Amino acid sequence: MLELLQRIFRRDSYKTSKDVAHERLRLVLMHDRLDLSPKVLDELRTDLMNVIKEYMVIDEKSMEINLEKDQNCVALVANIPVIRMKRLPNS
């Protein structure tokens, strides 16, 4: 009953159980799919490195890439020491 009243009077802010399910699924699937194999992570690292190397000289050995998860979000965190910038032809 309370729910019904909430629904009627606060229609805009009230979250239906479907909305809650949708949001929970989004997070759960994101976490599940994060289970990247070391091989995929390695490929990602190589691809990233190749792109960055076009612009700067980086310390490839101490480069770190990780997926960090917490309750509400997931971030790809990369720590890539730059040794020097390349001189770009049009800058």
Residues in the chain: 91
- In single-letter form, the type of residue at position 17 comes to S
Nearest to 88 by CA among 56, 64, 63, 62: 56
Rule CB under 8 A: which of 7-66 touch another protein?
7-8, 11, 16-19, 21-22, 24-26, 28-29, 32-33
Residue 86 binds another protein, judged by CB under 8 A: no
Structure tokens given for 66: 């990780």
Q: Which is nearer to another protein, 32 or 54 (CB)?
A: 32
Q: Which is nearer to another protein, 18 or 84 (CB)?
A: 18
CB of residue 22 to another protein, shortest distance in Å: 5
Q: What is the contact surface with another protein in residues (CB under 8 A)?
A: 7-8, 11, 16-19, 21-22, 24-26, 28-29, 32-33
